[in-house]
Structure 1
């Protein structure tokens, strides 16, 4: 298939849904009612998770804690159906999170950077709006901004993923039942250029707006919840767990997932929610091995929460996947590979945290001691000097607003961890797709990302008018 035909097929297959109507079934002629429909759907996304990330997190848990990761255990116990998913966008073999999420959220491929706005201006109704209109409770949970690309892709239409201030306003109008993550800067009057106070606006709209874990846990659960626990993305899991103050106010992804399920499941007609481990992607962009693996473990605990609920409930479809690979890390062979990787078992901080502690007063010796204390390896004086000089150069990037020398630091770590990286950006890899519960029996072995939209609707037994 030629490149132009590839993208044309992806777009036409989805644009044509309106003309094809409810008879279109991406997964063939199947009866979704044969084994019952899904009352609830939990859609979990480890954003930017390459196969190496999944593998290394499992190795870490098996040899540090003596247990498999929850994700791999599902394979070991043959609990789930498993497939590969293609992740292209409307204009590239390599998607970004906005286009990838929009394939699921809107049922069509869009250009990178867009949220449910098609190549010709199409604006399919986002899937959580459809489920809310059908009477279900809906919501999103994420470790990054709640207004970020992946949660927004299930919720809104916007030509740019960067329009987070507008997306924040959209959320208040939509009044979804439970939205938890970061992104306070897009709600706070002091941080918005238009000076709108969306915290006050959300409360006026009848939404419980909370900013700490204690405030979240104290809610009665009778109103829609908007929980925003950081100015931008939440802290990396490894930094949260090793900082008493952060741990006291910042919920884990699993805790937010548990709270959301408890709140959403009060609806007798069921619920649909998305859970995103968004900082897995950020760590991959930064080639930050410790941050990557412990945020993947954080996501893994959310899988357990979802699966425990679904296995007890019997009416819940759980989907576990990623939107794309990122930087394709892996543990590579060498005489010291095991010993090097084991250093990560007692690492106490992300690269980002370490770099943010460095001040102009740091000497090379002080940096060597600081890194060994927090990341468990002995850096050379030459490497320390290179990092200190890196601060004068600065590095720009979507996830590097403080201009930290993240690339220099990461490149010097591989000999100490035996973890190597293919790059610093998304990949076109086919990715893991896992299902459990009602409807999972219809999962085929290979799926195009946009096909999941109608699959979700059909699995939930949605009335025909809600199928695009």
Structure 2
């Protein structure tokens, strides 16, 4: 396929509703991959700024003497891959949220932030996993945040608002996707839902295999569609899971969920389509939490290895590795002791969420110092401890990622004096982002694309009609 032809298609995709889908479909018919990809696996490290990818690789080099599996793809000249930068804007802003970003891939049209494949005038754009399922493929999503959250939902459903997660859970039941696994218990239990519906019973009644912990998932042996929900809200941060035998026994890793999903989906004679999301990377970036960020990026990288290993043996699979947008733009900052300071993160045992959730306004400075040292491996000063304590006088319950308004920014600023990591914000950014492809259909990727182009590229690679 000529690059100029794919970019022409990208222009059509960006135009969205203005041109309509007949013109787009006609262009797609001309641009199918020479060899059809039977399977597609798209891995999304949600909210991954380039600094996150970079620091995770440096962290692994210095801690374990190896690079990340993602960047090793670029270093290995024997592995044929393609790379691109991707423009992540939404219909309403240069800075996208995860709902609009996923919808650009899911529906092939840019929509406003907060929407899931629903246009400005209420028009619905059919999500790509519904198209793949209609073509006979098995489909699924696995994530470290609620399975009803924006990124998996954008591949699967139409909904006016990403906030309607209880409703999204019901739509998953109607659509009967083959594997859906992550967090979000509150959207499936009578105790968590306002309507008191027992969605687990509803899924079981519709002949789903429902699993609630790691051992149940690993011991699955079924041809039924699978629903796995393992925790309230998002799954625990990987750094916290690594420090808890109880969490390790109960909560699967993203790599384990990915392996289970592939094992379940690969028997379908017409192939499969799987989305894998490292959603807690985004949450850690929102919290400026370097320990949580790096360990969840590394956990995502382990899932990348699972997908690549499968594709290397299978020879019929397209693997896509990317992010939906940047977040907080962290980076290792220059200084005489930058190396040693960065290496101090190797001593971190807990997330900042764990540290700050265990602090209250009645504690002493000494107790706060002890708590921070237990989580981060270094002792802050009494002045810094009192500064943190002062933030606990007026906590509230509003906000999407930090409802109690705990002092994540303050703690990150204190940690930065010891680890040499800086942040530009606590929110999404408009950066062009890294995208890599390996396997069948990867030759379709030009060096720069819009996020909507990825929808059509996946269709082209698998020869599935729009």
- Superposition TM-score, scaled by structure 2 size: 0.95
Counterpart CA distance in 2 for 1:31 and 1:147 is 32
Matched, 1:262 2:263: yes
CA contact (8 A) 1:82 1:434 kept: yes
Q: Per-residue displacement from partner, 1:50-91 (whole Å, max 9, x unpaired)?
A: 000000000000000000001110010143210000000001
Give 1:354's aligned residue: 355
Give the one of 407, 410, 428 matched to 1:408. 410
Q: Per-residue displacement from partner, 1:132-177 (whole Å, max 9, x unpaired)?
A: 1111100000000000000000000001000001000101111100
Secondary structure of the residue aligned to 2:172 is helix
Give 1:5's aligned residue: none
- 1:308-327 matches, cutoff 5 A: 308-327=309-328
- 1:114-263 matches, cutoff 5 A: 114-263=115-264
Q: Report the CA distance between 1:20 and its aligned residue.
A: 0.6
Secondary structure of the residue aligned to 2:417 is helix
CA contact (8 A) 2:327 2:429 kept: yes
Q: Report the CA distance between 1:10 and its aligned residue.
A: 7.0
Counterpart CA distance in 1 for 2:22 and 2:310 is 38
Matched, 1:373 2:374: yes
Query: Higher mean Cα deviation, 195-204 or 392-401?
Result: 392-401
CA contact (8 A) 1:394 1:405 kept: no
CA contact (8 A) 1:147 1:168 kept: yes
Give 2:3's aligned residue: none
Give 1:3's aligned residue: none
Give 1:92's aligned residue: 93
Counterpart CA distance in 1 for 2:19 and 2:27 is 9
Secondary structure of the residue aligned to 2:436 is strand
CA contact (8 A) 1:89 1:100 kept: yes
Give 1:12's aligned residue: 15
Q: Which runs of 5+ in 2 are unaligned?
A: 1-10
CA contact (8 A) 2:13 2:453 kept: no
Q: Report the CA distance between 1:360 and its aligned residue.
A: 4.8
CA contact (8 A) 2:16 2:108 kept: no
Secondary structure of the residue aligned to 1:118 is coil
CA contact (8 A) 1:332 1:418 kept: yes
Matched, 1:363 2:373: no
Give 2:458's aligned residue: 456
Counterpart CA distance in 1 for 2:20 and 2:54 is 37
Runs of 4+ in 1 over 4 A off after TM superposition: 8-11
Secondary structure of the residue aligned to 2:156 is coil
Secondary structure of the residue aligned to 1:413 is helix
Q: Which runs of 5+ in 1 are unaligned?
A: 1-7
**Cα distance change of structure 1 residues 244 and 111 upon mapping to structure 2, 3 Å threshold:** same
Give the one of 393, 398, 401 matched to 1:399. 401
**Cα distance change of structure 1 residues 136 and 225 upon mapping to structure 2, 3 Å threshold:** same
Give the one of 427, 445, 466 matched to 1:425. 427
Counterpart CA distance in 1 for 2:454 and 2:165 is 25
Query: Higher mean Cα deviation, 288-297 or 363-372?
Result: 363-372
Query: Higher mean Cα deviation, 319-328 or 8-17?
Result: 8-17
Counterpart CA distance in 2 for 1:65 and 1:167 is 41
Give 2:82's aligned residue: 81
**Cα distance change of structure 1 residues 183 and 368 upon mapping to structure 2, 3 Å threshold:** same
Counterpart CA distance in 2 for 1:123 and 1:15 is 14
CA contact (8 A) 1:179 1:227 kept: yes
Counterpart CA distance in 2 for 1:21 and 1:239 is 46
Query: Higher mean Cα deviation, 342-351 or 387-396?
Result: 387-396
Q: Per-residue displacement from partner, 1:33-52 (whole Å, max 9, x unpaired)?
A: 2xx11000000000000000
Counterpart CA distance in 2 for 1:187 and 1:13 is 34
Q: Report the CA distance between 1:374 and its aligned residue.
A: 2.3
**Cα distance change of structure 1 residues 411 and 165 upon mapping to structure 2, 3 Å threshold:** same
Give 1:54's aligned residue: 53
- Superposition TM-score, scaled by structure 1 size: 0.94
Counterpart CA distance in 2 for 1:457 and 1:30 is 10
Matched, 1:446 2:448: yes
Q: Report the CA distance between 1:416 and its aligned residue.
A: 1.0
Secondary structure of the residue aligned to 2:324 is coil
